[in-house]
Amino acid sequence: MAAGGIVWLIAKREIDSRWAQKGFRWGTLVFLVVIAATALLPKFIGGGDGGTSYDVGIVTQGPASPEQAALRKALGSVGGEGVSIDVTDIASAGDGRDKVRDNDLDAVVDGNRIMARSGTDQVVGLVQAAVAATTFEAALREAGLSDAEIAGVLATPAPTVDAIEASDKDARRGIATVTVVLLFAQLIGYCSWVGLGVVEEKTSRVVELILATVRPWQLLLGKLLGIGVLAVGQLVAMGAVGLAVIKVSGSFELPDGAYSAIGVSFVWFVLGFAFFAAMSAALASLVSRQEEVSGVMLPVTATLMVSYFLAFAVTASSDGTLAQVLGIVPPVSSLAMPARVVGGDVPAWQIALSLVLLVLSAALVLAIAARVYRAAVLHSGSRVKLREAWRGEAAASLD
């Protein structure tokens, strides 16, 4: 049988044995339920009986004028039952526009102009009513007004409204955070599977029977392929359920480029899995007892943890120098680059460079892991030193 066929048979054996475990099936179901609940959560946040509150700014240069003081009073009274308006003084119209764009304020009043986010019709109507009431009150202060003059005040045209598209940075940051957490959880969980699986085969002596007919590199590659298929399949299922729930429920609006970013996440996850799972298999082959696995895999766990925490720096600022470096340098890039792509626009050359470096590093680690695994997988008893495994003396008869 061709080498590729042998590798696939080993992978299929790994998939079938893992899928036959009830714990895996139930665990997958629980993951999907959690993802669906998380996707629905934004729909219910803020949906209680606490009412609606708006933050409105008034452009005030220097001491507030009587008209601005009256406007502040009017804004406090137009809300009505269940609606409140908090008023803030703003130094300039430009500052107000930025605060509206960044979701810090719902609307800003600059004279007879209102700046508000697109789709905030309720707050616009309330502010318009307050401005009209202020104008009416100011007119009444003038002594000796005729009915015609008062009618003219009542007929004052409504202020013009500038619709400003709200920034989606908060949504992007939230999705980037969820992406990092999911990728990390999948990587650390399935890499543990790889390590425990290697030692389990050594303990039961099954590996001796298998290596009588296949080569060590074929067994290693088949094991990584089988567990990798399960990991990617579970991740795809979680992503599909999450997107479907968001689409059907309308719990929140996905930012532009979200689907392409999710595709990038899968590619980088596959390469990250190849890197870390190969390390796990090589290191686990050095020991022969299950209780030794966690200790020997400490380098994998530590590297994953460091990559995980560094990736959160990317979720905070996807365009900073540190984020750019972390998105390129492997193995941190397996978590950081998906977070960067979700968080904002990334130059194509940086994505390409990150991909090339991660592919090369994963290939290098796979080659090293194959050599170590080949030398140590048949050894039982005391722990094999990494230096001895690298020399490959114990595997000379397996050529």
User: CA torsion sign, 36 to 39 to 44 to 45?
Assistant: positive
C-alpha 227, offset from chain centre? 23
The helix/strand/coil state of 111 is: coil
Q: Decide the pairing of beta strands 107-110 and 113-117.
A: antiparallel
**Worst-scoring range by mean pLDDT, 273-277, 340-344, 360-364?**
340-344
Q: What is the mean pLDDT of residues 336-343?
A: 84
Q: What is the pLDDT of residues 74-128, one digit of tens each?
A: 777 665 556 778 888 888 888 888 888 888 888 888 887 888 877 677 788 888 8
pLDDT for position 397? 39
Between strands 52-59 and 113-117, the pairing is unpaired
State the pLDDT confidence band at 387, using cuts at 50, 70 and 90: confident
**Which numeric CATH code is attached to 53-164?**
3.40.190
Q: pLDDT tens across 54-81, in order? A: 888 888 877 767 777 778 877 776 655 5
Locate CATH 3.40.190 in the chain.
53-164
pLDDT, mean of residues 190-218: 83
Is pLDDT of 233 > 60? yes
Average pLDDT of 170-176? 73
Lowest mean pLDDT among 159-163, 244-248, 355-359: 159-163
The pLDDT score that the predictor gives to residue 378 is 77
Q: Residue range 201-218: average pLDDT?
A: 79
* Residue 322: predicted pLDDT: 87
Q: Are 277 and 228 in contact (CB under 8 A)?
A: yes
**Burial category of 155 from C-beta neighbours within 10 Å (exposed 0-12, middle 13-18, buried 19 and up):** exposed
Extract the runs of DSSP E, i.e. beta strands, from 118-169: 160-164
Average pLDDT rounded to a whole number, residues 27-46: 80
DSSP 290: G
Instruction: Summarize the confidence of residues 169-187 as an average pLDDT.
Output: 80
Share of residues in the chain with pLDDT > 70 (%): 82
> Within 13 Å and on the Cβ side, how many CA atoms surround 44?
5
